[in-house]
Amino acid sequence: MTKENKKNRKISFHPQISKTPTGINGLDEITGGGIPTSRPTLICGEAGCGKTLLSLEFIVRGAMEFDEPGVFMAFEEKAAELTMNAGSLGFDLEQLQKEKKLKIDYVHIDRSEIQETGEFDLDGLFIRLGYAIDSIGAKRVVLDTIENLFSSLTNEAILRAELRRLFHWLKEKGVTAIITGERGDGRSLTRQGLEEYVSDCVILLDHRVINQISTRRLRIVKYRGSEHGTNEYPFLIDQDGISVLPVTSLKLEKEVSTERVSSGIPALDKMLGGKGFFKGGSVLVSGTAGTGKTSIAACFANEICNKKNRCLYFAFEESPKQIIRNMRSINMDLQKHVDKGLLQFMASRPTLHGLEQHLVAMHKLIKVFKPQAVILDPITNLITVGSVSEVKAMLIRLIDFLQEEQITVLFTALTLNTVVTEQTDEGVSSLVDAWLLVRDIEFNGERNRGMYIMKSRGMKHSNQVREFIITDKGIDLVEVYLGPDGVLTGSAREAQKLQERTGEILRNNAMGMKDREVLRKKKVLEAKIASLQSEFESAEEELNKIYIEEELVKKVTESNRQQILQRRRDDNEQNGGKGKN
């Protein structure tokens, strides 16, 4: 292929399938924009999995958010029942019908009447549905459920033909349709086993109950002409309708921040290079019961709120009032942050939902509250509703989501001397960016708390063990104190300090005495030196006296000898002179 052909291939336009957004949280992300426009979509599942609700929300969202009127043709529930059911989700179907944005048509099919006539086809349905569509200019249609429509038809050949005719009619009508169907037996998705083949998009809903915990899941089985998510996605039905969790990030391409957020404990920030955690990072605080994990988490929440940021606190063990009361005992007022709307608690027992539904609920709350920090306290309790690997998988998805949103998350984990919990701790700790360990230190007949940083990715951090103190003034970390037997804590540390202080005083006193003794000895020695100097001077003078005397004697003797010699020479000269005369 030439370069020009390659270039033309790159810029060539390929028509793609048009999609209609459902308006349902998360579903449009999974489907890449919605369900196929002007084509039928099959939603199948067992009783109670949410088929009717999903299709009803599709119609209501279309009318309210996309200005696309819709027709809801029900074969099971009457219009009044549907209106009442939708009211619990905040949807006013009566008002929508008055505004001609919605038309609910209940069709009652009586088997005895069909048997009497002897024939069955969908012509009547097409006329009725066509009238409803034309009366409000509907763009969306729901048929709920298709089994009721064909329940009286025993001839399989006719049934299949009518099914195909229904799907083709909907396509020709140009409406985006959802058809609900009941889950079939065996490997078939529907009872007839044909609907999934003639539909352009098939969504399977599932409602599982494992260990008395129910979880609803959604999977896109088929989507002609479009890419789509293929995993099972948990979804939640609450007062706001359906929320599907689309978190399935497999690529590690998230943006990271170099901005730091304080832990709320200055000494801990100092251990973390002086600035605290990375914004958007994940932090795990693990330790045994009573080591102050919740206090550390509350301290972090307090710091976030003090800076006018929002924090979302998921509590799985204590109620919000318990946490607020307990934190007051360490001089921390969380109630003021709650009153200002900066701090929101979400407290529930883990057994309230399955793991996936917990994840969906968290995802939804985070999207609504838009916090800068999230706290989960403690994640260990989640083991009661799932295995270790399931909890880990859930937390991976949560961390991925929070990293994308640049939200800092802090987990607390209880450490026990059981294999299961140890595994959980290790499994989660490998995911997080920073891991703080709080441990009991039993020494000298008392129990104290010690903290150290096991890891903190991307920053210089202390490797020392610090004593973790909780007082009525707050939380603090005491500087490392090393005694002869290692790190000392509590009263042992205070005793060692007193002992060292006493030793210093005694040592100073001894040094003073030594100095005074040295001074005295110096004076004695100086006196001795002065005395010796005098003796030396006396001896020197004595020695000099003898030397001078000897010199004088020598000089006088020499002088006398010279005088004697002179006299002799004078006498000889005189005597010589007389002899000559």
Catalytic residues: 76, 317
Quickly count: other Cβ atoms within 10 Å of residue 344's Cβ. Answer: 17
Which whole-number Å values give the CA distances from 284 to 211, 467, 566, in the listed order? 28, 18, 124
Q: In whole angstroms, give the CA distance from residue 103 to residue 80.
A: 12
Do residues 509 and 517 make contact, with C-beta atoms less than 8 angstroms apart? no
229 secondary structure, DSSP code? -
Backbone angles phi, psi at 574, to 5 degrees: -65, -45
Do residues 165 and 130 make contact, with C-beta atoms less than 8 angstroms apart? no
Q: How many CA atoms lie within 13 A of 363 on its CB side?
A: 28
Q: In whole angstroms, give the CA distance from residue 581 to residue 577.
A: 7
Q: In whole angstroms, give the CA distance from residue 295 to residue 375.
A: 12
The burial class, CB within 10 Å (0-12 / 13-18 / 19+), for 308 is exposed
Q: How many CA atoms lie within 13 A of 455 on its CB side?
A: 14
Q: Which structure tokens are listed for 510?
A: 């001894």
Q: In whole angstroms, give the CA distance from residue 112 to residue 563.
A: 186
Could you report how far apart the first and last alpha carbons of the chain are, in Å? 166
The burial class, CB within 10 Å (0-12 / 13-18 / 19+), for 279 is middle
Q: How many residues comprise the chain?
A: 581
Do residues 41 and 205 make contact, with C-beta atoms less than 8 angstroms apart? no
Quickly count: other Cβ atoms within 10 Å of residue 549's Cβ. Answer: 10
Q: In whole angstroms, give the CA distance from residue 384 to residue 421.
A: 11
Q: In whole angstroms, give the CA distance from residue 461 to residue 458.
A: 9
Sign of CA dihedral 78, 81, 85, 88: positive
In sequence order, what are the residues at sequence separation of 6 or more whose Cβ sits closer than 8 angstroms to the Cβ of residue 3? none
Q: In whole angstroms, give the CA distance from residue 467 to residue 444.
A: 15
Quickly count: other Cβ atoms within 10 Å of residue 200's Cβ. Answer: 20
Would you call the peptide bond into 378 cis, given omega within 30 degrees of 0 as the criterion?
A: yes
Identify which of 150, 174, 152, 154 has the alpha carbon closest to the alpha carbon of residue 163: 150
Backbone angles phi, psi at 180, to 5 degrees: -95, 145
